Chain A
Amino acid sequence: MEIYLDNCATTKVCEQAAQICMEAMVNEYGNPSSLHRKGLNAEHLMTAARKNIAAILGCDPECIIFTGGATDSNNIAILGGISARKRAGKTIVTSSVEHPSVADTVSSLEEQGYKVKRIVPRENGTFAAEDFIDAVDDDTVLLTFMMVNNEMGTILPYDKIIPAIRRKYPNLLIHMDGVQGFTKLPFNVKRLDIDLFSFSGHKLYAPKGIGGLYIKKGIRVNPVEYGGGQERGIRSGTQSVPLIAAMGEAMALCKRDGAAILKNYRERNAQLRALLAEMPQVIINSPEKGCPHVLNISVPGIPSEIMLHALEEKEIYVSSGSACAKGALSSTLEAYGLPAERVRSALRISFSKDTTAEEIDIFAAALRETIDRLSKVIGK
C-alpha cells in the first residue's frame, strides 16, 4: 500500500479537479480571449474558478490574477510591487526562513541597493511579532513574509504583525506568501488588510503549474513580463484554462469540506506525535502550536536521505526537507538554530485531507523498524 506523506511538496490532484481539467482540454479548449462562443465558454470556466477562490479569500473575484504558480506570484508581488513604488523607500523587511522564491528575489533587490532586514526566529523557534513591528520604519517600502514555514510548520504571527504595522504605516506595501497556510488557518484578506497574497494550486489538490496572486483594490503592481495584456496586464500570456478550472474546483472542495479537512490534519498530527513519543531516538522539531498538516522530526545519526529511501522501499514517501533543494542541507532548519546533526537527519511528514489513521499507524511502525535496522549499520 502506497502511503504518501509529502503533501507539503505537492498533493494528489482531487477527482473533481482532474475531471474539469480534462473537460477544458478536450471540449472547452477555446482561448478565453477569443471573441467567439468557444472563447466565451472558456472564459466562463475561468470566471467560475475566480469566484470560488475569492470566496475562500474573502475578496472580490477581480482582485485575483492567475499565475504560473506561487514562485511566479511571489516574483510579481515583490518585483512588480517595488517597481511601482520607486520613491516610497529603500528598505525591505522579511524573515530569515523564506522560500527561495521570496528570499532570492529579495536578495536580487539587495544587490540593486535596497536594504534588507531579515527577522530571525527567537530561541524557542518561534517568531515574535514585535521583531517585525520594530523593524519597519519610514524608509520601509515592503514587508514580505510567509504565512507558515514550509519545512517546520511554524505559523508566523501575521494576525498580530499586520494590524499593528497597518495602524502605524497605512500605506506600507504588505505581501504574504500563503503557500503553506492558505485554507489551513483562519484567514481573510480584507479583515487582515493585506495588499498582496500568493498561493499555489498544487499544494491544495490542484495540478502543478498554476497559482494566483491576490491584489488589493487600488494597489499598483507593475508587470515583470510583457505580452498580450491578460490578467489585467500584470501577468500576460494565454491563461491555462484547464489548470485554472482545476484549481477553482479544488478550492471549492477546500471551502466546502474545510472544517473536516482541518480536523483530519489535527487528528493525524496528534496521533503521530503520540506514537513518536514512544520512540526515544526521535526528536520533534516542529513547534507544539504549528500548522497541523506538517510535522518535522529528526533521528540523529541517520542521514535524512537514507531514511527517506529506506521508507521508500516500503512505499512510504516523506521529505528530507524542502523538495526544492534536492540534495542540499536545509538552510531554513539551520536558520531555526537546529544543531547540524538534527538538520542532517531531519524528516518532514505532511498530511493530506485523505491521510488515514491506519496510514499513520503503518508509517510509525515502519519508522520504528527502519530506525532499528539502520542504527545497526550506520549508527555504529
Chain B
Amino acid sequence: MKELILIKNGEIALKGLNRSHFEEILVRNIKWRLRDLGKTTVKRAQSTIYIEPEDCDFYDFDEAIDRLQKIFGIVMISRALVLEKSMDAILEHIADYCADELQGAKTFKVVAKRSDKRFPLTSPEIAAEAGGAILRRFPRLKVDVRNPDVTIMVEIRDFGAYIHGGQLPGAGGMPVSSSGQALLLISGGIDSPVAAYMMAKRGLQLNAIHFVSPPYTSDRALEKVETLCEKLAPYTGRIKFYCVPFTEIQEALREHCPEELFTILMRRLMMKIATRIAENDEIEALVTGESLAQVASQTLQALHCTDTATDLVVLRPLIGMDKSEIIHISKEIGTFETSILPYEDCCTVFTPRHPRTKPKLKYVVKAEQDYDFGPLLDKAVAETTWKMIP
C-alpha cells in the first residue's frame, strides 16, 4: 500500500504573483526539516504539496507529521492512501484504511473532490458510493452531513486518487525566510525564545546573538542558550548563532559609568554590537524579547534609549504581552524548562541595586561618551564567533 502526506498551504495562496516563490521556499523548508527521515519526493500542484516517501513501510509518518506541524506556512496536513483512479479500488480500500478513525465514531460523512474532471463519476456520486462501502463495513454508523464525528475525504487529483480520514492543523503563518532575515538578541531567559518563535511565524529567518562574560557567566549558561536554539530549530529552521565576548566591556562599564545607568548603557552597547554584526551579514532587523514595563530596562524611556543605539528596525513581538502569556507560549513550544535553569546570564551579575527606570537619553549618551568604548566594541566584534545550530 502506498501512502503519502498532503500539505495545504495557507496565506501563501493569497500572495498573487509571488505565490510560486513562497511555495518554493516552503518546499525547501519542508525538505530540510524531513531530511534525516528517509528519501522522499516533494512536489507541488494545485496549491497542494505532496510528500511521497520512497519506502512507505519503513517511513516514520508520525514523526514526519509532528515535524510538519511545526513548519510555518502550512495550514493543513493529511496522511493519505494513494490509489489508482478507479471507483473499484476506492470502494475496496476506504473502510479498511479509515477504520481507526471510524471505529470510535457514531456519525460520519464522506466528502469527495474531483479536480480531474475526466473521472467518470461526479463528486456527489463518489461520496455516495464510498459512504455506502463504509456503511456495509460499519453498519452501526450513521451518516450526518452537517456535524459528523469523522469526515472521510476522497480526492481525485491529477496524479491519482487519495483517501484520508481527516486533516490535522498546521502551524499557519508564513514560510521561514520568505520575509527576510533578522538577528535575535538572546539571553537565556523565557522571553527571547518566544520572540524568536513569533517572528519566525511571520516568515523571518533567524540568527541569534548572545553575549558571554566569563568568569561572571559560565560555560553552562552558554550551553543553555545553545540548547534553547536547538529547541527553537523545529520552528525556525537552522539558526546562525553568534557568541560575543563581553567581559571587558562589562568591566569597563563597571569602572567608568554611573551604577544606576549600568543596565541601560550595557543594552545600548549590545545593540551597537548586534547592529554591526547584522550589517556585516546583510541582516535587516533586530528582534528582542522586551515587554513594556516588565523590568527597569523595558520602560518606554529605556526602550527609547536602546532604540536610538541602532539604525535597524527593532522588532519586539512581546511588547504588549503579559508575563503569563509569554510563559504560556514558552511551555507550548518547549523552551520553558530550559529557560528556567538557574545559571547566571550576563545581565544578572552586574544588576544595579537601584536602576534608573526613566533614563533621559541625553544623560545616557553623555555617560556613554565619558569613556571611549570604540576600541572595546571593535575588539568584541572582531572576536565574535559563530556556528550553525543544528
* Cβ of B218 under 8 Å from chain A: yes
User: B214's contact among A313, A327, A378, by CB below 8 Å, is which?
Assistant: A313
* Cβ of A191 under 8 Å from chain B: no
* Cβ of B120 under 8 Å from chain A: no
- Residues in A with CB closer than 8 Å to B254 are 377-378, 380
Q: Helix, strand, loop or mixed for chain B's interface?
A: loop
- Residues in B with CB closer than 8 Å to A311 are 215
- Residues in A with CB closer than 8 Å to B344 are 305
- Residues in B with CB closer than 8 Å to A328 are 342
Contact A378 B215 (CB under 8 A): no
Contact B215 A313 (CB under 8 A): yes
Question: In the complex, which of the residues A306, A310, A313, A380 has the most CB atoms of chain B within 10 Å of its own CB atom?
Answer: A306
User: A377's contact among B214, B255, B343, by CB below 8 Å, is which?
Assistant: B255
Q: A327-B342, A327-B343, A378-B349 are in contact. Are A305 and B255 (CB under 8 A)?
A: no
Q: Interface residue tally of chain A, by bracket?
A: 10 to 19
* Cβ of B322 under 8 Å from chain A: no
Q: A327-B342, A327-B343 are in contact. Are A306 and B215 (CB under 8 A)?
A: yes
Question: How long is the Cα–Cα vector from A378 to B251 in the complex, in angstroms?
Answer: 9
* Cβ of B138 under 8 Å from chain A: no
* Cβ of A309 under 8 Å from chain B: yes
Question: In the complex, which of the residues A305, A312, A376 has the most CB atoms of chain B within 10 Å of its own CB atom?
Answer: A305
Contact A309 B255 (CB under 8 A): no
* Cβ of B216 under 8 Å from chain A: yes
- Residues in B with CB closer than 8 Å to A377 are 251, 254-255
Q: Interface residue tally of chain B, by bracket?
A: 10 to 19
Query: Per-residue 0/1 for A23-46: is the Cβ within 8 Å of any B Cβ (1 yes, 0 no)?
Result: 000000000000000000000000
User: A305's contact among B218, B251, B350, by CB below 8 Å, is which?
Assistant: B218
> Which residue of the partner chain B has the closest CB to A312?
B215
Question: How long is the Cα–Cα vector from A313 to B217 in the complex, in angstroms?
Answer: 12
Query: Per-residue 0/1 for A330-350: is the Cβ within 8 Å of any B Cβ (1 yes, 0 no)?
Result: 000000000000000000000
Query: Measured between C-beta atoms, what is the minimum distance from B194 to chain A in Å?
Result: 23
Query: Measured between C-beta atoms, what is the minimum distance from B287 to chain A in Å?
Result: 29
- Residues in A with CB closer than 8 Å to B350 are 378
Question: How long is the Cα–Cα vector from A307 to B344 in the complex, in angstroms?
Answer: 13
Q: Name B202-233 residues within 8 Å CB distance of A.
A: 214-218
> Which residue of the partner chain A has the closest CB to B341?
A327
Question: How long is the Cα–Cα vector from A324 to B123 in the complex, in angstroms?
Answer: 67
Contact B342 A306 (CB under 8 A): no
Query: Per-residue 0/1 for A276-319: is the Cβ within 8 Å of any B Cβ (1 yes, 0 no)?
Result: 00000000000000000000000000000111111111000000
Query: Measured between C-beta atoms, what is the minimum distance from B369 to chain A in Å?
Result: 22
Query: Per-residue 0/1 for A354-379: is the Cβ within 8 Å of any B Cβ (1 yes, 0 no)?
Result: 00000000000000000000101110
> Which residue of the partner chain A has the closest CB to B342?
A327
Question: How long is the Cα–Cα vector from A376 to B215 in the complex, in angstroms?
Answer: 14
Q: Name B339-363 residues within 8 Å CB distance of A.
A: 342-344, 349-350
- Residues in B with CB closer than 8 Å to A327 are 342-343
Q: A327-B342, A327-B343, A378-B349 are in contact. Are A309 and B215 (CB under 8 A)?
A: yes
Query: Measured between C-beta atoms, what is the minimum distance from B66 to chain A in Å?
Result: 32
Q: Name B60-77 residues within 8 Å CB distance of A.
A: none
Contact B251 A310 (CB under 8 A): no
> Which residue of the partner chain B has the closest CB to A311?
B215
Question: In the complex, which of the residues B215, B217, B342, B349 has the most CB atoms of chain A within 10 Å of its own CB atom?
Answer: B215
Query: Measured between C-beta atoms, what is the minimum distance from A360 to chain B in Å?
Result: 21
Question: How long is the Cα–Cα vector from A307 to B254 in the complex, in angstroms?
Answer: 18
Q: A327-B342, A377-B254 are in contact. Are A309 and B218 (CB under 8 A)?
A: yes
Q: Name B314-340 residues within 8 Å CB distance of A.
A: none
> Which residue of the partner chain B has the closest CB to A370?
B215
Question: How long is the Cα–Cα vector from A59 to B254 in the complex, in angstroms?
Answer: 61
New contact pairs (7) apart from A328-B342, A377-B255, CB-CB < 8 Å: A308-B215, A309-B217, A313-B215, A327-B342, A374-B215, A377-B251, A380-B254
What are 6 A-B interface contacts by the 8 Å CB criterion? A309-B216, A310-B214, A311-B215, A377-B255, A378-B350, A380-B254
Counting from the closest, the 10 A-B pairs by CB-CB distance are A309-B215, A310-B215, A327-B342, A377-B251, A309-B218, A377-B254, A306-B215, A306-B216, A309-B214, A313-B215
